[in-house]
Structure 1
Amino acid sequence: AKSAKPNIIFMLMDDMGWGDLGINGEPSMETTNLDQMAKEGMLFTDFYSANPLCSPSRAAMLTGRLPIRNGFYTSNYHGHNGYTPQNIVGGIPDNELLISELLQNAGYTNKLIGKWHLGHQQQYLPLKHGFHEWFGSPNCHFGPYDDKTTPNIPVYNNTEMAGRWYYEEFTIEEHKYFSNMTQYYIEEALEFIERMSSEEKPFFLYWAPDATHSPVYSSAMFKGASRRGPYGDAVMELDYGVGKIINLLKSLGLDQNTLVFFSSDNGAAMIGSAFENGSNGPFLCGKQTTFEGGIREPTIAWGPGFVKPGQVSQQVGSLMDWFTTALHLANIPVPDDRFIDGMNLLPVLSGDNSFDRPIFHYRGNTLFAVRYGMHKAHYWTWTNSWEEYNKGITFCRGEYIANVTTHEQVNRTLDPVVFQLGRDPGEKYSMKSSLSEYKEVVANMKTIVNKHLETLKPGTPQFDWCDDAVMNWAPNGCEKLNKCLPKPKSNLQKCVWPH
């Protein structure tokens, strides 16, 4: 049975790189279900996250607005990334409208499975922001912690914690790269889809597993299955989950009335060794940077009723477009009381249209780069500080481009570094400033940036204040499990963001 309204599924991976899909050229060819999904749907080659880090990217996707607008940035430092660790005070503001809230108002039943990362204090959690159900975690699966100076992360089942993971009830055997969490996330998705089908209710499923975020993990079924090591095992298990979800939609007859988007929150991490990191294909650097490797994402749209099959689209897209596209699909008005950055991709999905649009790449509170057409202009260059680099932390492992991969923040506003991404997708050869093409691009970009800045009303920064007292000491439901921990005294301080 199916509802009259179209169903919507967002599949968002964590730190998965553009080069991790077989259909994008990964030599091991271990993503058979995703590759098939792309063949039956539309593969996007030039699709971007709204930020090179997890929390701001997710907030932008769910609000259709750049992080600088929705407050998912810090003003403590110039051009530094921030996110929502356990001690963050901020989270998604109540005055932001999430796609989940707009779909809820239109009669959809909404479920989040996996990582939230938009704030973990009670007022920021998913069920306060348009989701009816949630199984997953509010933070990254870092740990294990001692539950004294730092609590282990909770896993929520709807409004109450179901235990602490990943090192207590929900285990990750860290040095064995083992956990059953992805299997739980797959089972939760299948159960939800079957239940919505039987009840003939329109649904929004946000499936956000995090197995490809370090420390990576997979279950026994996939342990050692990949040619790529533990990271590849995690990718294979996620690919398996995608296949199970797509096949269930087909078997229930929901495929013609469901639109599925697949992507990643940012590029693959490139910290230290390649052992736990994905592939950014031909692109420069990785997560944390506004070079292509940090922000260009593996992206597929699938849905036989809405997506022309077998298409490869060079449409320049953004995760924020999912917000606007889903609203158009569900025939819900796009909010007109705020600036929405996302564009409607429905004409692109049907194979009828493509359009030019700029993509603004921020790092923290600073506009670092802009893409328009085939050109990309960098107004600031920076990978990470010399201090961090000298400790062995690099976001451009094995890659050095003179005057581009800089370890100081270099202001290039007056002489932007310009690449033509058709000729040079890896951003290896910056355009000579003496060329007429360079001058034309810079003049055009200046007009685009000035117009953007005219509409820019920064939100209240959510990543400025940290406090150990707000960590996951006593999540809702902890009493029933005897899992409440004593809360320390407040020590409100400005957050430290090294990158």
Structure 2
Amino acid sequence: MDLKHRKMTLLLLIVWFPCVVAKTNIILFIADDLGYGDIGCYGNHSVRTPNIDSIASDGIKMTQHLAAASLCTPSRSALLTGRYPVRTGMASPVMMRVIAWASSSCGLPSSEITFAEQTKKAGYMNGLFGKWHLGIHKQRLGDFEHHPLKQGFDYFYGPIYSNLGDFGGESRIITGLMPGWYGKLFSIWAVTAVALLCLFREDYFGAIPFIVFILIWSVPLALVYLLFENFTLLNSFVYRNYDLVEQPVRFAGLSQRLVNEGLDFIQNATNSGKPFLLVMSWVHTHTFLTTSKQFEGRSKFGRYGEALEELDWSVGQILKSVKEFGIDDNTLVYFTSDHGGHLEEGTEGGFNGILKGGKSHGASDGAIRVPGLIKWPRVLEKGKVTDEPTSLMDIYNLVSSVAGVSLPADRHIDGRDILPLLKGGVLVSPHDFLFHYCGNILHAARYRPRDGIKTWKLVTREPDYIPGTTVCQFTCNCNTDVLATPKLYDITVDPGETTPIDSHSKNYKEITPIILKAMGIHKNSIEPAETEFTLRKLAPNLTWQPCCNGTFPFNCYCTDPKYPE
């Protein structure tokens, strides 16, 4: 080869080589409590969601995309780790299935390897903006063992906890869970006081012991009352990395602040030449529903519609910036929700379409079937739809594959490689079975045979619905009775789970034993994991209580100085 050809070859290599080695950027959008039927590409033509819908038209829509849990904390842990919460200690054996107090020691174990830790191995810059809800401290105040920056992220900005109606002063989570709670609390106190009065009659023990015992008994009841009546002070704040910058959260305008942080992150990562993982974990459409003024009154569906349109606008701003930076073709974009809409919230809780049930309902499809949209312009075809069962846990495998990192070999990963399915190279889900939990109790399982087109679902426990309805008393109980005869559904033709297969039919007799056997094998594959959901870990520790300007509970009010208005 002469010198002229050598130079030409070298020039071509210089131009071509960066295109070969450039790693794909990854953007994950996670909505909060968004119903399966809330956005346009899943059939809702009443609320405008053009930006979210564009991900479907520019990529793939998954119609049977499933969360691993029907509540925030366990579902998000499964997404981050690719593992069922029961494997990681994030499946609750008690009534409380989410982290209830920011000052508790409950959280995602540091021994788990998140997808952010996976991309970090490949030199990615990782940012999380928005809701976390997977804990802060573990052993002591300030150790931040459960914080996002200890779980593979380089940057974090957002509410470390969640978004609740309590923060708007409109409702109380405790009275939602237990109507008449304060009346019951006072009744317990009064009954006890009368009993003590009878026991400590003046002619028997005297009045002083009675007064002392009444005071001692009043302390725990008063503490419970103060805790739940001050939920905002105890749980509403925004962190920037390890710094508490806002207390309580100003939810009006929070979406705009999250967008600004996300845009800054993209610019910084792009300017540095590093590939990036950006997780935008929106607070919409979880109640408390508050938007900026520009979205007030825009939707005929009230505050829920306004929040949904603001969510769509937020997604659009990130997508627009990706195009403006010229990295659209080399960026994978994924959109989902952590679980289904909260039916018990009524019109402000989301819409799950024809699916049965919703948030907290365990195995009902309305609780766990969520929007699942992926676009990757240089890899995936536009406008395709897959009806095959897929899982939020599969995103762990997908992110690891895109980053060029092997899966951890020292643990069971429940996610599967769905890229061949998305590309169209295979037509059947990589999951033979998917298992549906309520807390740490297995309630149902999905079966996708390797032939045909059908997906079957066997339900062994059902939610404790209010008679005549498909809703619970704010949240559902997991420890319900095992069905004497499990219910089998053909989810392909009956996604609403309205008509169980006849237990005397050939299909029932052939399919049910297969699924029951798989459930047994799955249970045996679960290695014991220390649960994070003990009463001790869940309980608030007021000595760990965050306070931005002083010592709790004094002067715990501040506004993020970066966004003073």
Q: TM-score, normalised by structure 1?
A: 0.86
Letter in 2 for 1:436: K
8 Å Cα contact 1:320/1:342 also seen in 2: yes
Aligned pairs (5 A) from 1:64-463: 64-76=82-94, 81-121=97-137, 122-142=144-164, 143-144=166-167, 150=231, 151-166=234-249, 171-172=250-251, 179-274=252-347, 276-289=348-361, 290-356=363-429, 357=431, 358-373=433-448, 374-383=455-464, 393-394=473-474, 409-412=480-483, 415-463=485-533
Give the direction of change, closer, same or farther, for the CA distance of 1:416–1:87 in structure 2 (3 Å limit).
farther
Matched residue of 1:298: which SS? strand
- 1:176 corresponds to: none
Per-residue deviation, 1:395: 5.9
Higher helix residue share: 2
Per-residue deviation, 1:483: 4.2
8 Å Cα contact 2:103/2:545 also seen in 1: no
Give the direction of change, closer, same or farther, for the CA distance of 1:215–1:455 in structure 2 (3 Å limit).
same
Q: Tell me the distance in 1 between the aligned counterparts of 2:421 and 2:478.
A: 39
8 Å Cα contact 1:44/1:300 also seen in 2: yes
Per-residue deviation, 1:385: 7.5
Q: Tell me the distance in 1 between the aligned counterparts of 2:530 and 2:78.
A: 15
8 Å Cα contact 1:101/1:129 also seen in 2: yes
Give the direction of change, closer, same or farther, for the CA distance of 1:247–1:292 in structure 2 (3 Å limit).
same
Q: Tell me the distance in 1 between the aligned counterparts of 2:291 and 2:400.
A: 34
Q: Give identity over the alignment, percent.
A: 32
Report the number of matched residues. 456
8 Å Cα contact 2:99/2:106 also seen in 1: no
Q: Tell me the distance in 1 between the aligned counterparts of 2:253 and 2:116.
A: 27
Q: Tell me the distance in 1 between the aligned counterparts of 2:99 and 2:499.
A: 32
Per-residue deviation, 1:470: 5.1
- 2:42 corresponds to: 24
Question: Could you tell me which of 25, 31, 43 is aligned with 1:13?
Answer: 31
- 2:539 corresponds to: 467
Matched residue of 2:485: which SS? coil
Per-residue deviation, 1:472: 6.1
Q: Tell me the distance in 1 between the aligned counterparts of 2:426 and 2:242.
A: 43
Give per-residue Cα distances to partners, 1:184-211, cap 9 Å, x unaligned: 1111111111221111111111110112
8 Å Cα contact 1:18/1:296 also seen in 2: yes
Give per-residue Cα distances to partners, 1:34-58, cap 9 Å, x unaligned: 1122111111100001100000000
8 Å Cα contact 1:101/1:130 also seen in 2: yes
Asked if residue 51 in structure 1 is aligned to residue 69 in structure 2, the reply is yes
Structure 2 unaligned segments of length 5 or more: list them.
1-17, 138-143, 170-225, 449-454, 555-565
Letter in 1 for 2:352: N
Q: Tell me the distance in 1 between the aligned counterparts of 2:82 and 2:258.
A: 25
Comparing 98-107 with 260-269, which one deviates more in the overlay?
98-107
Letter in 2 for 1:286: G
Letter in 1 for 2:269: M
Per-residue deviation, 1:458: 3.5
Q: Tell me the distance in 2 between the aligned counterparts of 1:256 and 1:203.
A: 14
8 Å Cα contact 2:55/2:375 also seen in 1: yes
Matched residue of 1:101: which SS? helix
Matched residue of 2:247: which SS? strand
Comparing 453-462 with 198-207, which one deviates more in the overlay?
453-462
8 Å Cα contact 2:464/2:472 also seen in 1: no
8 Å Cα contact 1:113/1:189 also seen in 2: yes
8 Å Cα contact 1:385/1:407 also seen in 2: no
Q: Tell me the distance in 2 between the aligned counterparts of 1:64 and 1:24.
A: 25
Matched residue of 1:230: which SS? helix
Q: Tell me the distance in 1 between the aligned counterparts of 2:49 and 2:464.
A: 30
Matched residue of 1:415: which SS? strand
Per-residue deviation, 1:343: 0.7
Give 1 or 2 for the bigger CA radius of gyration: 2
- 2:191 corresponds to: none
Matched residue of 2:406: which SS? coil
Matched residue of 2:57: which SS? helix
Q: Tell me the distance in 1 between the aligned counterparts of 2:76 and 2:82.
A: 10
Comparing 343-352 with 148-157, which one deviates more in the overlay?
148-157
Give per-residue Cα distances to partners, 1:11-55, cap 9 Å, x unaligned: 110000110011111131411111122111111100001100000
Matched residue of 1:204: which SS? strand
Matched residue of 1:247: which SS? helix
8 Å Cα contact 2:60/2:380 also seen in 1: yes
Q: Tell me the distance in 1 between the aligned counterparts of 2:544 and 2:344.
A: 27
Per-residue deviation, 1:267: 0.3
Give the direction of change, closer, same or farther, for the CA distance of 1:394–1:473 in structure 2 (3 Å limit).
closer
Letter in 1 for 2:152: G
Structure 1 unaligned segments of length 5 or more: list them.
173-178, 397-405, 488-499
Q: Tell me the distance in 2 between the aligned counterparts of 1:272 and 1:242.
A: 25
Give the direction of change, closer, same or farther, for the CA distance of 1:410–1:186 in structure 2 (3 Å limit).
same
Give per-residue Cα distances to partners, 1:297-330, cap 9 Å, x unaligned: 0110012022221101112111100001110111
- 1:399 corresponds to: none
Give the direction of change, closer, same or farther, for the CA distance of 1:318–1:85 in structure 2 (3 Å limit).
farther
Q: Tell me the distance in 2 between the aligned counterparts of 1:353 and 1:376.
A: 22
Q: Tell me the distance in 2 between the aligned counterparts of 1:354 and 1:301.
A: 17
Q: Tell me the distance in 2 between the aligned counterparts of 1:457 and 1:20.
A: 37
Letter in 1 for 2:134: L
Q: Tell me the distance in 2 between the aligned counterparts of 1:55 and 1:107.
A: 28
8 Å Cα contact 1:17/1:280 also seen in 2: yes
Give per-residue Cα distances to partners, 1:322-356, cap 9 Å, x unaligned: 00111011110001110000011211222222334
Q: Tell me the distance in 1 between the aligned counterparts of 2:497 and 2:66.
A: 16
Q: Tell me the distance in 1 between the aligned counterparts of 2:100 and 2:413.
A: 23
Per-residue deviation, 1:453: 1.9
Per-residue deviation, 1:149: 5.3
